[in-house]
Each structure stands twice: as structure tokens, then as C-alpha cells.
Amino acid sequence: MGFKAATAQFIVICAALLPAGVVYSQSKPVELVGFGDSLMAGYQLPPTESYTAQLEAALRKKGMNVAVANAGVSGDTTAGGLARADWSVPDGTDGVILELGANDALRGVSPDETEKNLDQIIAGFKKRNIPVLLIGIMAPPNMGGDFAARFNEIHPRLAKKYDLPLYPFFLDGVVLDQTLQLEDRMHPNAKGVGIMVERTLPVVENFVNAIGAQ
């Protein structure tokens, strides 16, 4: 057997041994879009320190060929997200990390309205065959117990309805630590974003591998 033929056979054998869903060595990156508000956009942070940028770096450090575009808009509500979902997330996107609802809660938007908007956003992505990883948000305590109880059920309920992977609370590990926040005590600093990336990374890895297995 010639050298070229032996090399080709070796490549075929190695490819056959790789488990389904592994995207580590493919030539075309898995293209994700982070779709959300200021928490996704990287409010007052350099672009390289945003959640999407740090997440992409973390995934690539793991050997995963993934590109994460930033479609976060500071101040965006679920209504705003619904209005721009079609043009903010282009056709052919491999997956969306959907994070919206924080500004709805801060503005006291009816949880029913928030859920309706998120439902329509998810349904739109589903219709376009774009997988969704849903990122949960929790209502601030000052909104009252009744509001929080209604709001905090939204993301888990939609994840169950559409059979979506869910990360329950985007600011987990950051919301109570002022050293991880900007001076406004609402948004994470670069270090805080790093904690968010670290904690969401296993869920995102599973999401990417599920996309690769389709």
C-alpha cells in the first residue's frame, strides 16, 4: 500500500472512532449567537471582555471550534428582542444562547407579557430550525414576593414546554458579590463575567455537542 493510500485509510479509521457530536477538529466552526440584553452585550466592558467573547475563548481553550457572535443590546426587553430576533440572528446560525427578561423585571412588566414574548421568540427560532439554549433570569427582591414567584417560573416553564437546555440563573455566583460587579451594582465586571462563563460552560459544551450530533 502506498503512503498516500495508507494515510487516507488512517484518517478514515480515526474519523470512524470519534464519538458523535464531537466538534473539536472540524474545519467549519459551530456558529452561535448570544442574544440578550446588557448582560450579554457586555455593558461598559471592552468587547474582548463580554460574555460572548470570554465564552468563545473558553470553548476554544477546550479545543472546540466555536464562534460566538454578540447580539446583546443594553436595555433590551423581551418585547425589543421579539422585534429584532429575525434580523439579529441570521439564517444558518447553528444555535442561539437566549438571555432576556432582566429589564422586564426591573420595569415591572407583567410576567404574562414577558412569557408571551419569550415564547414567541423561541417559537420563531424553532420554526427556523435554530436550536436554543435558554438562560434564566430571576426577579430582584424589591419587586415583591408575588411578582418574583410568577416571574421566576417563566424560563423553567418555557424550557420544559420546548424541551430546551436551561441554565437557571445567569448571574449565579455574581449577584451577591460586589467585587464582581461594576459600580452600579447591577452589571458584572470582567472578572464577574469570567465567573458566569465558568459556571455556564458545561451547559454550553453540552449544547454545542448536541448541535454537532444532529
Residues assigned a catalytic role: 38, 184, 187
Sign of CA dihedral 44, 48, 53, 54: negative
CA distance 135 to 13: 39
Q: How far apart are CA 90 and CA 22, in angstroms?
A: 24
Q: d(Cα 133, Cα 136) in Å, to the nearest integer? A: 10
**DSSP string spanning 101-130?**
-HHHHHHT--HHHHHHHHHHHHHHHHHTT-
Q: Assess contact for 38 and 187: CB atoms under 8 A.
A: yes
Q: Which residue has the cell 450579554?
A: 40
Rounded Cα distance, 169 and 155, in Å = 9
What's the rounded Cα separation, in Å, for the pair 59 and 66?
7
